[in-house]
Amino acid sequence: MSKGGKKKVLGYFCNGLGNLIEMMPALTALHIYSGNPIDMVLSTDWVDSRKEQAIDILERWPRVRKVHEATTKGEPFLVTKEGQTLAKKDYDLFYASGHNTGTAIMEWFGQYGNVWEKANWRRTRISEVEFHANEVYKMGYRGPIPPLEIPLADTPELGQKKRMRIALSNGSARSDTFMWEKKRWWGFPLLADMLRRYYDAEILFVGRGEDDMQDAMRVKKKVPELKEWVSKDLMMTQTAKILSQCDLLITSDTSVMHCGAAVGIPLVALFGPTLVSKNRPWTDKAAIIRSPIQCAPCQYHFMFQLCDNEPFRWGGEKCEAWKCMRHIYPDRVMRVVRDFWRETERMNKCEKPNS
C-alpha cells in the first residue's frame, strides 16, 4: 500500500471507445475510493485505430496518473515499452474491463472465467455502466455510481452559434465480419433535410471512418450546407469538444452516443439490433427510439450473426439497411425529436431562476 494509507490502482482496457466511456464511472469510483489517480495498461498487441484514441482520452483525463503500453501475452506479463515491469506488489487494487475474458492476462488481474458473459445481458437487463460499478462495489467502494466523464480537447472551436446546432452521428466499429454495421441507420439524409426545414438549424455530421464519410456525403446531397466533421485523424476528445458546442445529438448506438452522454448534451438514440438495457446512454437527457420489429434486439442471440441487410425504396430513394433499422422511419424520428426538444426547452425554462 502506498504512503498515507492510500491505495494504488492498476487498470486494464482493450476494446471499443464506447466501452471505455461506459467503464469510466467505475474508474472514477476507484479513484475516489483509493485516493490516488489510476495507472492504466493498454496492450502492445492492440494495433487498431481505437488504441490511439483510448490513449488520448486516458492521458487527458485527470483521474489517470499514467498510461502504460505493455505486453499482455507470454511471460513475463506487463513489460512496458520502456522496459519497466509492472509488479503486483506495487499495487493494491486491480481492475480489467472484462471484454478479453478467459485469457491469462485477465487472470493476472484477478478475473477468472468468462466474466463478461456472467452478466447474462439479455436476462439481467443490466447496463454496462452498472456492470462495471458492481465490480467496483465488490472491492469496497460504497458511493453512488459516478457520472460519465470525458476530457475535452482544446479544439475545434465552432464559433458563435447563431441558430440551433444539431449533430448527427452514424458510427460503427469495422470488423472482419462487419457485424456491427447493422447498427447503422439509413435515414439521416432525409432526417437532416427535415431538421433544417423545421428548425432552420445548423446541421453537423460527426464521425471518423470511411463509412462515416460516405454517410456524410449522402447527407450533404440533401443538405448542401452541412458542416462535416469526419476525419480519420479526428480524436474522440475533439468530438467531445464539438458536441459540447451543440444543442442536440441524434445518433445510432455508437461511441459518439456515449460521448454525447458524457458531455451532457440532449440526445436521441436509435436502437435496432443491440440491447438498449446494456448499451443505453447513461444520462437522463436522452430519448430512445427502438426498432418496432419482433426480432429486435438480437444482440447475444444467434440471429445477430445471421441477419442480412435488405435493399428497399423509401421516398423514391433506394436504401439498404438491416431489417430492424429499416423499420425506423425518418418521419417517426422527427416526431420524437420535436416532442423531446419541446420537453427539453420546457425543463430548461423551469430550471432557470426567476429574474
What pLDDT band is residue 113 in, cutting at 50, 70 and 90?
confident
107 belongs to a structural domain? yes
Indicate whether 91 pLDDT > 50. yes
323 belongs to a structural domain? yes
Name which of 274, 270, 282, 285 is nearest 333 in CA terms: 270
Same domain, 269 and 310: yes
Average the pLDDT over each of 205-219, 254-268, 279-293 and give the range with the smallest value. 205-219
- Structural domain containing residue 181: 165-351
Q: Which three cell numbers stand for residue 22?
A: 461506459
Q: Which three cell numbers stand for residue 59?
A: 492521458
pLDDT averaged over the chain? 92
Same domain, 83 and 197: no
Same domain, 53 and 196: no
The residues, any chain, with a CB within 8 Å of residue 183's CB and separated by 6 or more, are 172, 252, 253, 254, 272, 273, 274, 325
Q: What is the pTM of this model?
A: 0.95
Q: How confident is the model over 312-329, as a mean pLDDT?
A: 91
28 belongs to a structural domain? yes
Q: How confident is the model over 340-353, as a mean pLDDT?
A: 90
Q: How confident is the model over 137-144, as a mean pLDDT?
A: 96
Which pLDDT belongs to residue 353?
67
Same domain, 132 and 34: yes
Indicate whether 187 pLDDT > 80. yes
Same domain, 174 and 97: no
Q: Which three cell numbers stand for residue 52?
A: 490511439
Indicate whether 54 pLDDT > 80. yes
The answer to whether 24 and 255 are in contact (CB under 8 A) is no
Rounded to 10 degrees, the C-alpha dihedral 51/57/58/60 comes to 140
Q: How confident is the model over 325-347, as a mean pLDDT?
A: 97
Which pLDDT belongs to residue 6?
84
What pLDDT band is residue 100 in, cutting at 50, 70 and 90?
low
Indicate whether 117 pLDDT > 80. no
